[in-house]
Homo-oligomer: A and B are copies of this chain.
Amino acid sequence: MELVLAESALPPTPEEYGVGARVSLQPMSDRFIDIILGALDDAGGGQGTLRITTGVVSTLVSGGDEEALARYLTALIAAAARRSAGAHLTAQVMLSRGCPGEIACAFVSGPWGSEKPVVLEPTGVQVVAEWSLYPLLGVIDDTDDHMMPIMAAIDAAKVSGLFDSSDHYVTRLAGDLAEVIALVVTAWRRTGSWVQHVTTHLALSINSPTARSNS
């Protein structure tokens, strides 16, 4: 890996730090095109410096900080849930930080993470979700204990009241969409306090007939 130390003493911008998300919506409905395009329209083009770039498989959200990403993702998925009007909807979110060069991860100096929690207004949209968190670049204290940030994130989930269960490869969360997104974005940013390159994946399920039949 090429290590390129930033020359400036200023903290990197989210863009310089490679902070961004990919998101996709799956309305299980014949009306899926209207629901997806309508939700993108409802959520707007992104406030401030945020850029929304749609693609064939997913939509890239970049150019903003962690709060801006969290607000946009919540607004987009809540809009899709409203437009789905009770139909089953899933959404996939991935977040990445600390690999601004995409393939060649340049090293960026500065405060990588933060203990600051992301706070969002509840949406009233209930979700069940499967979450995984991946600290990729060697842990700073050199013990190479890559499970430490993961355990810290799971502990935070348990305190939050959103923890549902642990399963193979994922942690299951349940609660308000905004609270789940806030928990995951907070944990992902916090893991940046120990590790530069951190990704996280969240698979969200709304109005699942399986969940209804189990309840």
- Copy tally for this chain in the complex stands at 2
By a CB distance below 8 angstroms, the chain B residues around A156 are none
Q: How far is the CB of A36 from chain B (nearest CB, A)?
A: 9
- In the complex, A83 has a CB within 8 A of chain B: no
Q: How far is the CA of A145 from the CA of B1 in the complex (A)?
A: 5
Are B147 and A22 within 8 A (Cβ)? no
B-side contacts of A90, CB under 8 Å? 24, 26, 57
Chain B min CB distance to A15 (Å):
11
Binds B, one of A65-73, A113-121, A176-184, A198-206: A198-206
Q: Is the CB of B1 within 8 A of A146?
A: yes
State whether A146 touches B151 (Cβ < 8 A): no
Interface pair A168/B102, CB less than 8 Å apart: yes
Q: Are B57 and A94 in contact (CB under 8 A)?
A: no
CB–CB B136/A203 < 8 A: no
A 24-65 binary contact with B (CB < 8 Å = 1; else 0):
101111101100000000000000000000111110101000
| Cα–Cα distance between A58 and B92 once the two chains are bound (Å) | 12
Of the candidates B62, B134, B203, the one whose C-beta lies within 8 Å of that of A57 is: B203
Report the nearest B residue to A209, measured CB to CB: B33
Interface centre among A105, A154, A168 (most CB of B within 10 A): A168
* A144 within 8 Å of B (CB atoms): yes
Q: Which residue on chain B has the smallest CB distance to residue A89?
A: B26
Query: Contact residues of A with B, CB < 8 Å?
Result: 1, 20, 22, 24, 26-30, 32-33, 54-58, 60, 62, 88, 90, 92, 94, 96, 99, 102-105, 128-130, 132, 134-138, 144-148, 150-151, 154, 166-170, 172, 197, 199, 201, 203-205, 208-211, 214
